[in-house]
C-alpha cells in the first residue's frame, strides 16, 4: 500500500515537473487550437534529457544551444503528424539547427522568413524556435494540414525574425534565405560542410555563417579574443602578408568576412 502511494505521488509530482519545464510563452498547440483533432501523445525533453528522444542527434542540438523540445502526435484531417517544437537558446541557435536540418526544399511557405517544405516534412525557424512537422504519406492533404499546424504555432511566436545581414554585408537577402547555413562547432561543420573541418581545426567559441553559391563566403565571429587569435595563427593572418586562404576582411571586432580561394 505504502509503495503504491509512493509511486502515485512520484507520477503526480513528476508529471507536474515535466510541464513546468516549458516556459510560459512557449508556443504549445492543443485541442483548443485544432477543434476536432486528436492529440494522442505529448512529451517534453530538456537539456541532456534530449538523448532520451534523439540519441544519435542530441549532441548537435546541444552544440548549438538547446533548451527544451515539446513533441506532440496529432491526428488531424485524416492524417497523422508529429510536431516537434524546439526552443533554442537564441535566434542564431534556432536558425543554425534549421539551416543544417533542411534538405532539398520544394518551396518555402511564407509562415516565417526561413521555412522549408518537402513532401514529408515542414520545417520552420522563427525567433528562438525550430519547428518540424512530419507527416506519414506525403499527400497534398498532408501538406495543407502541416501548413495549418505550422501557422497556429508561428502565430504564437511574437519575437522578431533573425537578421543575418550584419554577418554578410552586401549579400542579397534571397541568397541568405536560400543558400546560407550557420554553425557553432565541429559537429555542425562535419554535418553540413565537412570540407571545412580542417579550416577550423582546434578552434572553438565561434559562430560561422556560410554561403555556398558561385563562391564560398564565410563570416566568422569569435566569442573571445583567445579564439580569434587562435584562428589568426592557424591561417597565418597576423602579419601584413596577403592571406593565402582567400580575401579576408575584418567587419567588426573579432568578426572576419572571408571569400575562400578555389
Q: In which band, very low, low, confident or very high, does the pLDDT at 160 lie, cut at 50, 70 and 90?
A: confident
At 56, list the grid cell. 544519435
* Residue 12, phi then psi, degrees to nearest 5: -65, -50
**Would you list the DSSP string of 88-151?**
ESSHHHHHHHHHHH--S-SB--TTSSEEEE-SSEEEEEETTEEEEEEESS--HHHHHHHHHHHH
Q: In which band, very low, low, confident or very high, does the pLDDT at 1 lie, cut at 50, 70 and 90?
A: very low
Q: Is the pLDDT score of 206 beyond 70?
A: yes
| pLDDT for the residue numbered 5 | 42
pLDDT tens-digit map of 29-51 = 999 999 989 998 889 999 999 99
| pLDDT for the residue numbered 239 | 64
Predicted model pTM: 0.88
| pLDDT for the residue numbered 243 | 65
Q: Over the chain, what is the mean pLDDT?
A: 89
Question: Region 179-203: what's the mean pLDDT?
Answer: 93
pLDDT tens-digit map of 209-255 = 999 888 899 999 999 999 999 999 999 887 655 666 788 999 988 99
Q: Is the pLDDT score of 19 beyond 50?
A: no
Q: How far apart, in whole angstroms, are the C-alpha atoms of residue 64 and residue 48? A: 13
Top-confidence residue, 176 or 55 = 176
Question: E strand or H helix at 221, and its extent?
Answer: strand 216-222
**Would you list the DSSP string of 138-207?**
--HHHHHHHHHHHHHHHHT--SPPP--TTTSTT--HHHHHHHEEEE-SHHHHHHH-GGGTGGGTT--SEE
| pLDDT for the residue numbered 236 | 87
| pLDDT for the residue numbered 70 | 97
Q: How far apart, in whole angstroms, are the C-alpha atoms of residue 200 and residue 71? A: 34
| pLDDT for the residue numbered 212 | 87
Class of domain 25-155: alpha beta
Question: Region 84-91: what's the mean pLDDT?
Answer: 97
Where do the domains of the chain lie?
25-155, 173-260
Identify the sign of the CA torsion 71, 57, 180, 68: positive
pLDDT tens-digit map of 148-158 = 999 999 999 99
Cα atoms found within 13 Å of the Cα of residue 43, Cβ hemisphere only: 11
Grouping H, G, I as helix, E, B as strand and the rest as coil, residue 1 is: coil
Q: Is the pLDDT score of 113 beyond 80?
A: yes
Amino acid at each position: 500500500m505504502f509503495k503504491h502511494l509512493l509511486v502515485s505521488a512520484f507520477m503526480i509530482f513528476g508529471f507536474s515537473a515535466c510541464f513546468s519545464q516549458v516556459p510560459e510563452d512557449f508556443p504549445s498547440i492543443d485541442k483548443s487550437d485544432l477543434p476536432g483533432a486528436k492529440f494522442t501523445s505529448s512529451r517534453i525533453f530538456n537539456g541532456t534529457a534530449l538523448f532520451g528522444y534523439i540519441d544519435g542527434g542530441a549532441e548537435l542540438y546541444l552544440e548549438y544551444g538547446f533548451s527544451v523540445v515539446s513533441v506532440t502526435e496529432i491526428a488531424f484531417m485524416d492524417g497523422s503528424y508529429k510536431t516537434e517544437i524546439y526552443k533554442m537558446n537564441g535566434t542564431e541557435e534556432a536558425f543554425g539547427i534549421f539551416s543544417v536540418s533542411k534538405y532539398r526544399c520544394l518551396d518555402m511557405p511564407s509562415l516565417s522568413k526561413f521555412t522549408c517544405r518537402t513532401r514529408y516534412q515542414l520545417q520552420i525557424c522563427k525567433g528562438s524556435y525550430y519547428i518540424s512537422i512530419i507527416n506519414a504519406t506525403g499527400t497534398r492533404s498532408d501538406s495543407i494540414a502541416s501548413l495549418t499546424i505550422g501557422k497556429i504555432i508561428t502565430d504564437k511566436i511574437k519575437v522578431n525574425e533573425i537578421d543575418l545581414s550584419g554577418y554578410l554585408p552586401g549579400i542579397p537577402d534571397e541568397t541568405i534565405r536560400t543558400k546560407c547555413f550557420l554553425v557553432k562547432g565541429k559537429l555542425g561543420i562535419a554535418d553540413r560542410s565537412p570540407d571545412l573541418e580542417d579550416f577550423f581545426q582546434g578552434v572553438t567559441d565561434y559562430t560561422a555563417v556560410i554561403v555556398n553559391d558561385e563562391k564560398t563566403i564565410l563570416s566568422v565571429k569569435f566569442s573571445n579574443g583567445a579564439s580569434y587569435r587562435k584562428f589568426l595563427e592557424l591561417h597565418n593572418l597576423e602579419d601584413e602578408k596577403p592571406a593565402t586562404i582567400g580575401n579576408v576582411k575584418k567587419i567588426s571586432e573579432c568578426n572576419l568576412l572571408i571569400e575562400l580561394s578555389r
